[in-house]
């Protein structure tokens, strides 16, 4: 098992934000965490890498490859983040420093994880850009010179640079148009197949769940109300909240989202 979240609760002084959540992600699995904004999905994902605000308290266990992440020191968790556990965020543009080139971002990321040979870092960066379908000429460009789709591809390249066991992708297509979003997810699926990493995919888009996920959990007000195999939940939801979400979703066909079939074929 890559990740096992066992009875985790997250609270501030005022309220409980996440309540007694348990779920597990298998090796190489695409696991979707679905729910409306404010349901606790992102807070839970941030707790995995100890990225929460200090005023939030986390109880329970988060086992990653058998090790309880909540018991680790700040230094120990930093060594895991990026190497074995990696993130791609919704605000991917905010992850880039405007006055640093794309190459400098790759370089800094690798140096932070102990890759000291400059030539090796550059070669690995170029290979990473190529792996997400980008020209290595972007290595010397600045973030503002790239489109949103290109920057999101760079985010994926950096996140998978050191071959993590688990990638947490938090609403990564929200800021993109539907065509760009589809292309990004197809790319991520391709890279997952190549690297074998597990993915925790946080989303509110049921079309993406239908197309990419193996299993999923539905969150409402900090609790998981339903979990299981994709087809069982999508075709035979049990909880009333799940039924309402699916009924309210845009076209939930088994194919591509509306308007994307031609893009995929062309």
Number of domains in the chain: 1
DSSP 213: -
Query: How do 166-170 and 57-64 pair as beta strands?
Result: unpaired
Asked whether the predicted pLDDT for residue 266 surpasses 60, the reply is no
Q: Which residues, in sequence order, are CB contacts of 211 under 8 Å at separation 6+? A: 185, 256
Asked whether the predicted pLDDT for residue 45 surpasses 60, the reply is yes
What is the C-alpha separation between 198 and 250, in angstroms, rounded?
27
Q: Residue 75 class from Cβ within 10 Å (0-12 exposed, 13-18 middle, 19+ buried)?
A: exposed
At 93 the pLDDT is: 81
Give the CATH number for residue 180.
3.40.50.300
- For residue 198, give its domain range: 3-265
Cβ density class 128-144: b for 16+ within 10 Å, e for less: bbebbebeeebbeebbe
**Number of residues in the chain:** 266
- Percent of the chain exceeding pLDDT 90 equals 84
List, for residues 105-116, the tens digit of each pLDDT value: 999 999 999 999
Band of pLDDT at residue 163, cut at 50, 70 and 90: very high
At 91 the pLDDT is: 81
At 254 the pLDDT is: 43
The residue ranking higher by pLDDT, 91 or 173, is 173
- Percent of the chain exceeding pLDDT 70 equals 94
Q: Could you tell me the two tokens for 61? A: 């266990």
Beta bridge partners, 227, equal: 217
Band of pLDDT at residue 82, cut at 50, 70 and 90: confident
Phi, psi of 164 (to 5 degrees): -70, 160
Check if the beta carbon of residue 209 is closer than 8 Å to that of residue 31: no
Band of pLDDT at residue 252, cut at 50, 70 and 90: low
Asked whether the predicted pLDDT for residue 253 surpasses 50, the reply is no
8-to-3, 89, 107, 176, 247 alpha-carbon distances in Å: 13, 22, 36, 32, 29
Read off the pLDDT of each residue in 157-179 and give the average, rounded to a whole number: 93
At 41 the pLDDT is: 97
Q: What is the pTM of this model?
A: 0.92
């Amino acid at each position: 098992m890559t990740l096992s979240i066992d009875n985790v609760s997250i609270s501030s002084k005022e309220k409980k934000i996440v309540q007694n959540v348990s779920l597990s992600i298998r090796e190489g699995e695409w696991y979707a965490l679905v729910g409306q904004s404010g349901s606790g999905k992102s807070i839970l994902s941030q707790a995995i890498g100890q990225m929460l605000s200090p005023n939030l308290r986390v109880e329970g266990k988060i086992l990653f490859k058998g090790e309880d992440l909540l018991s680790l020191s700040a230094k120990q968790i930093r060594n895991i983040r990026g190497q074995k556990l990696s993130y791609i965020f919704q605000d991917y543009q905010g992850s880039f420093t405007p006055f640093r080139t794309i190459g400098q971002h790759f370089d800094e990321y690798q140096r932070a994880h102990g890759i000291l040979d400059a030539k090796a870092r550059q070669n690995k960066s170029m290979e990473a850009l190529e792996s997400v379908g980008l020209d290595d000429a972007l290595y010397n460009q600045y973030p503002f010179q790239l489109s949103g789709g290109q920057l999101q591809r760079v985010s994926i390249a950096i996140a998978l640079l050191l071959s993590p066991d688990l990638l947490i992708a938090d609403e990564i297509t929200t800021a993109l148009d539907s065509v760009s979003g589809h292309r990004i997810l197809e790319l991520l699926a391709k890279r997952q197949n190549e690297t074998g990493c597990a993915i925790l995919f946080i989303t509110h888009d049921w079309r993406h769940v239908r197309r990419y996920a193996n299993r999923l959990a539905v969150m409402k007000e900090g609790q998981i109300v339903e979990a299981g195999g994709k087809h069982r939940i999508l075709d035979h939801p049990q909880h009333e909240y799940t039924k309402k979400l699916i009924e309210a979703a845009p076209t939930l066909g088994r194919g591509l989202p509306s308007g994307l079939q031609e893009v995929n074929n062309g």
